[in-house]
Amino acid sequence: METEKLERKISYKFKKEDLLKEALTHRSYLNENQGWKSSHNERLEFLGDAVLELIVTEILFSKYPNYDEGQLTSFRASLVNYQMMAEVAKEVELENYLLLSKGESKDIGRARDVILANALEALIGAIYLDGGYEKAEVFVVRFIMPRLKEVIEKGLYKDAKSLLQEKTQAKLKITPIYKVLGEEGPDHKKMFNVGVYLSNKLIATGQGLSKQDAEVEAAKKALEEVRKQNNEE
């Protein structure tokens, strides 16, 4: 397993390569490769999730002494949600090293982003076990905390649907309407495609494993369109 490029990308060299191998192994891979000697990454994901939340919480607590716990909780939630984690995973090119079944490797949209987000948390858990809290903190500070500026400036810590409604009603006196455009996949893994409309005009679409998730994704994309139309950064 060639992981040297990934280690250079994240600026961390593992002492125990088996930990990195485990972090990159999805459960589905074991079903098709029963001779694979590594465990899947779900235990490391469990650990990494807790380590990530603690590091982010400590940084926010120190950096924003005048913010209450509700505001800090919203900031943290926006930094550690699966969409943000998936973006970080793509930044470090984690997808190139994940071990997935042939079926899982074909997943797209939200399903793929969830896999990437979980793998990133597993990677953080592996760094923590291999190098300790300080090394995990270095990773979080370098790759995750810089996104806080965008979270605050764009109001990403607010619910996307509520924020879209605020903006469209204030500027256009229009309430967004959501419509299911289609469904695909088996019942246990159905993917919904939802469109958000302003005055019967389709502004953006979103996908999700539930109608609510798809609506939120559509709202986020619509917010970007509204910002572009209004020349907002």
Using CB atoms within 10 Å of the CB of residue 132, give its burial: 0 to 12 exposed, 13 to 18 middle, 19+ buried: exposed
Question: Per the residue annotation, which of 104, 107, 113, 121 is the catalytic one?
Answer: 121
Q: Radius of gyration over alpha carbons of the chain, in Å? A: 19
Tokens of 6: 């990934």
Q: How far apart are CA 123 and CA 21, in angstroms?
A: 9
> Taking the alpha carbons of 19, 89, 47, 12 in that order, is the dihedral positive or negative?
positive
Cα–Cα nearest to 140, from 85, 63, 99, 100: 85
Contact call for residues 148 and 70 (beta carbons, < 8 A): no
Strand 191-198 to strand 201-208: parallel, antiparallel, or no bridges (unpaired)?
A: antiparallel
Question: Per the residue annotation, which of 45, 49, 107, 217 is the catalytic one?
Answer: 49
The per-residue b/e assignment along 17-35, b for 16 or more CB within 10 angstroms, e otherwise, is eebbbbbbbbebbbeeeee
Query: Is 121 among the catalytic positions?
Result: yes
Catalytic residues: 49, 121
